[in-house]
Structure 1
Amino acid sequence: MGQIKIYGLKEHLVPIRTKVSDILHSCVVDAFQYPENKRAQRFFYMDPEDFFYPEGSSDQYTIIEISLFEGRSITAKKYLYQLIFERFEKEFKISPNDVEITLTETPLYNWGLRGKPADELKLDYKVSV
């Protein structure tokens, strides 16, 4: 299971949100061998007065937070970062300097979904990749 939160300036993010969603999902599918039909994303649109970003970043600065089951290898995580940086630069002309990604992993027993703790579910995908 993975849930993605995307934060950015409203005027920048709204026009590209569908494509951002598609690109992020393709990166997760490719890096984590994740099912195509599992997409959980939320966009958080920020007004300039509410969004402070590091010096040297542009108004395209985008924060991506991904919550997921623990179990992916370091190699798979680094591949995910690489794909996101490359595809955001290619598709949106957003510099890797303007993209920040954090992964938060939790054990399956810390997730409740489909009426059960996730460690009691039969998943249709691998977590250990």
Structure 2
Amino acid sequence: MPFVRTAVPFGIEPARKRSVVEGIHDALVDSIGMPKDELFNLVSEYRDDEFFFDRGFNGIARSDALIVVEITMRRGRSDAMKRALYAGIVENLEARAAVSPRDVFIFMHENDYSDWSVGNGVFAMALAQQRGTDG
């Protein structure tokens, strides 16, 4: 279950914000096989004086409308899956929310089941070990 944090410029319209979230989610479903019902995306808005970035870092011309996508998920996806994920996010955001590919900054944290509790204070490893049982 990936957990996503998305930072968008202040004042983005709610419908466009929703399109950004759905574009990221659909890319996760399509590229890494994430179940459709695993949507967890915390969106925050930033003002000009709250986020500073180099508009020309690594030779990419960014605008003031940079969107940052931070994904935390369980370790184990291949580099090919990650490449497909990043490309899918950019394609979806451009098509659905009119976000320039130059304005999408993505990074990922990977961890293990032991780093999660997804409800009721239950250690996620216990849940993972019980998956697939009829008990």
- Global fold match (TM > 0.5): yes
Q: Unaligned regions of 5+ residues in structure 2, if any?
A: 56-60
The equivalent residue for 2:106 is: 101
- Separation of aligned partners in 2, 1:101 and 1:13: 21
Question: How big is the shift at 1:51?
Answer: 1.8
- Separation of aligned partners in 1, 2:84 and 2:13: 24
Correspondence 1:2-21 to 2 at 5 A = 2-12=2-12, 14-21=14-21
Identical counterparts, % of pairs: 25
Aligned length: 125
Q: For 1:90, what is the secondary structure of its paired residue?
A: helix
Q: For 2:18, what is the secondary structure of its paired residue?
A: helix
* TM-score scaled by length of structure 2: 0.82
Moved over 4 A (4+): none
The equivalent residue for 1:60 is: 65
Letter in 2 for 1:60: A
2:30 maps to 1:30: yes
Could you give the per-residue CA deviations for residues 16-74 of structure 1, whole angstroms, max 9, x where no partner exists? 11111111111111111111111111111111111212223112211000010111111
* TM-score scaled by length of structure 1: 0.86
- Separation of aligned partners in 2, 1:39 and 1:111: 15
- Separation of aligned partners in 2, 1:7 and 1:33: 24
Q: Unaligned regions of 5+ residues in structure 1, if any?
A: none
